[in-house]
Amino acid sequence: MKDYDTDIEKESSLGHVVKVQHVIDFLVLAELQNGRRYGKQLDRVITTALQGVGVNDSYLAQRLKKLAEKGHAASQWDDDNRYNRFYEITDSGLEYFRQLQRDLPERVALALKVYKLFENTIKKHQV
């Protein structure tokens, strides 16, 4: 039986590790600084940046809606096609992006550490 009463201090929580929404928000806002983009274009940017790892269409739509609701992006229907909505970054979005730039490096470092430790735990328990 393992001894779980060791003197290890909790430095952080898993909730502080990078969340999917932070990754999406960062990539979307970074791209919107290059000008307005359609949702499908933003989906492509994410998939390209993450080398084939994309995001569920409905989750991306939810994040884009949330960015617009919080005032970080402005959204508007394309005049020619009611199925295409384009997005533009706002001043609030620029500030939020700068905040992510400040916060995410530390969170990414923590995530890498946590996942490496978890990978080692998985290896220890493989059959």
Domain residue limits at 76: 18-102
Q: What is the mean pLDDT of the chain?
A: 90
The total of structural domains in the chain comes to 1
Domain-embedded: residue 9: no
Q: What is the pLDDT of residue 18?
A: 87
- Contacts within 8 Å (CB) and 24+ apart, 73-76: 73/28, 73/29, 73/32
pLDDT tops 60 at residue 1: no
Chain centroid to CA 22: 3
Domain-embedded: residue 23: yes
Residue of 11, 7, 2 whose CA lies nearest to 113:
11
pLDDT tops 80 at residue 81: no
CA distance 55 to 5: 40
Which pTM value belongs to this model? 0.85
Domain-embedded: residue 24: yes
Tokens of 42: 């933003």
Domain-embedded: residue 2: no
Domain-embedded: residue 126: no
Contact yes or no for 55/48 (Cβ under 8 A): no
Domain-embedded: residue 92: yes
Please report, for the domain that includes residue 98, its CATH number. Answer: 1.10.10.10
Band of pLDDT at residue 14, cut at 50, 70 and 90: confident
Domain-embedded: residue 52: yes
Domain-embedded: residue 30: yes
